[in-house]
Amino acid sequence: QVIDGTGKYLFPGLIDVHTHLREPGQEEKEEIATGARAALKGGFTTILAMPNTKPVLDQRALVEFVSNQGERAAGAKVYPIGAITKGEEGKELTEMVDLAAGGAKAFSDDGREVQNAELLRLAMEYVKLTGLPLISHCEDDNLARGGSMHKGEVSARLGLRGIPSSAESVMVARDILLAEETGSKLHLAHISAKESVELIRAAKLRGVDVTAEVNPHHLIFTDEAVAESNYNTSYKVNPPLGSAQDREALLEGILDGTLDMLATDHAPHTWEEKMKPFAEAPFGIAGFETSLAAVWTYLVKPGKLPVEVLLRAWSLNPAQRFNLLGGKVQPGEIADLVLFDPEQKEKIESKWFTSKAQNTPFLGQELQGFACMVWVNGQLRLGK
């Protein structure tokens, strides 16, 4: 087959290391199959699935279930992330070695940070036996409790209870210190505050084995969006959209490599739940299908983010850190590839989605820059 790629980019397969597929347990929000196909449409050839399902991915059989469903979906490749602790209590460690043998590519407490430092320290000692990274959600329960947006001038003006930046940064500091002491691999999820960026930069200078990711929504929006959108709950996300200074520090962090990766934190929810008042709606933005185009439209096209940085952050660095194919294909190996059309424009409407969820701030907008053909393991899975 001869493909005319004039005016297009051939990207290595993009890897999304932070996604929520909701199966088992909340299939009304998303299924592994709908999520994996939505990810493919968004340009991702590999995704890592967070363990905060119902039940949580705390047993080998559950980890294997996610892998198997992922394979059947024939979308992006799906790899499970095992839970650090059993159930939703966060009190007892899982059998991480067993979960790794079942196919887990990392371990995480996403959705509910381990609050007990002693237990997390033990988890870090234990995770070393698997050689895999521990992914931390970085949120202090007490500081964050009851808040629905970033605590600052905007939350005060709107009369909404805020979540201070320290809810994230104190846990970033703690987790870095624990990783430094134990010598384990740490990955920090969805970094949103400038104080966190500074802590990570300093830790890397000291040689701590830490990587970190940033979500497109934190690079594109600020807490002003909550006011400007008249409390649109599609802007309600955890960690919350921060100040303009936070956004600037995050962009600087991705440009200088302090923040290693881009990740969507695809968090699908039903309309019914997102229709609730701002303070009561669940946190989360659905990101699979719009994230690449949003980053292209808002950051790459205006010259704020070089395409080389995008590819390092969304393919090479995730591939290296989590030991996945995609950004690090050797000659002779079977490739994951994306043909990307920087001129393709799409109006983001309800009927356009492959995901079950549409809780995105880009709904109703036009975005530019989409994947037009996607190959997974050398097999064409999207486009023709």
Active site residues: 265
338 vs 113: CA distance, rounded Å: 34
CA atoms within 13 A on the CB side of 381: 29
69 binds ligand DOR (CB under 6 A): no
User: By the criterion CB under 5 A, which residues form the site for Zn ion?
Assistant: 110, 137, 265
**Would strands 379-382 and 366-376 be described as parallel, antiparallel, or unpaired?**
antiparallel
Least Cα distance to 48 among 87, 14, 92 occurs for 14
Query: In the complex, what is the shortest distance from the CB of residue 333 to ligand DOR, in angstroms, rounded to a whole number?
Result: 34
Which one of 16, 58, 110, 246 is in contact with ligand DOR (CB under 6 A)? 110
Which one of 11, 19, 20, 49 is in contact with ligand DOR (CB under 6 A)? 20
231 binds, among Zn ion, ligand DOR, none (CB under 5 to 8 A by kind): none
- Give the tokens for residue 163: 């979540």
315/359 with CB nearer ligand DOR: 359
169 binds, among ligand DOR, Zn ion, none (CB under 5 to 8 A by kind): none
62/267 with CB nearer ligand DOR: 267
99 binds ligand DOR (CB under 6 A): no
99 vs 195: CA distance, rounded Å: 34
356 binds ligand DOR (CB under 6 A): no
Query: In the complex, what is the shortest distance from the CB of residue 137 to Zn ion, in angstroms, rounded to a whole number?
Result: 4
111 binds ligand DOR (CB under 6 A): yes
Which one of 60, 105, 121, 137 is in contact with ligand DOR (CB under 6 A)? 137
237 binds ligand DOR (CB under 6 A): yes
Instruction: Using DSSP, state whether 5 is helix, strand or coil.
Output: coil
59/264 with CB nearer ligand DOR: 264
Instruction: Give the list of residues 6+ apart from residue 379 with CB closer than 8 angstroms, or none.
Output: none
At CA 77, angle to CA 347 and CA 307, rounded to 5? 55
187 binds ligand DOR (CB under 6 A): no
Query: In the complex, what is the shortest distance from the CB of residue 338 to ligand DOR, in angstroms, rounded to a whole number?
Result: 26
Residue ranges of alpha helices (H) inside the chain are: 32-41, 60-73, 96-101, 117-127, 141-144, 153-158, 166-182, 194-206, 216-220, 224-228, 244-255, 271-274, 291-295, 307-311, 317-322
215 binds ligand DOR (CB under 6 A): no
Query: In the complex, what is the shortest distance from the CB of residue 284 to Zn ion, in angstroms, rounded to a whole number?
Result: 8
217 binds ligand DOR (CB under 6 A): no
Which one of 63, 267, 313, 338 is in contact with ligand DOR (CB under 6 A)? 267
Are the C-beta atoms of 289 and 355 separated by less than 8 Å?
Answer: yes
Residue with token string 């294909």: 329
53/258 with CB nearer ligand DOR: 53
Query: In the complex, what is the shortest distance from the CB of residue 184 to ligand DOR, in angstroms, rounded to a whole number?
Result: 21
105 binds, among ligand DOR, Zn ion, none (CB under 5 to 8 A by kind): none
161 vs 24: CA distance, rounded Å: 32
Instruction: Give the list of residues 6+ apart from residue 170 with CB closer than 8 angstroms, or none.
Output: 140, 143
Question: Among positive and negative, which fits the CA dihedral 339, 219, 232, 17?
Answer: positive
273-312 residues in contact with ligand DOR (CB under 6 A) are: 283-284
Which one of 148, 211, 238, 290 is in contact with ligand DOR (CB under 6 A)? 238
175 binds, among Zn ion, ligand DOR, none (CB under 5 to 8 A by kind): none
Residue 229 exposed, middle or buried by CB count within 10 Å (0-12, 13-18, 19+): middle
Instruction: Using DSSP, state whether 14 is helix, strand or coil.
Output: strand
52 binds ligand DOR (CB under 6 A): yes
Give the phi and the psi of residue 95 in degrees, each rounded to 5. Answer: -85, 80
37/112 with CB nearer ligand DOR: 112
* Binding region for ligand DOR (CB under 6 A): 20, 52, 110-111, 137, 237-238, 267, 283-284
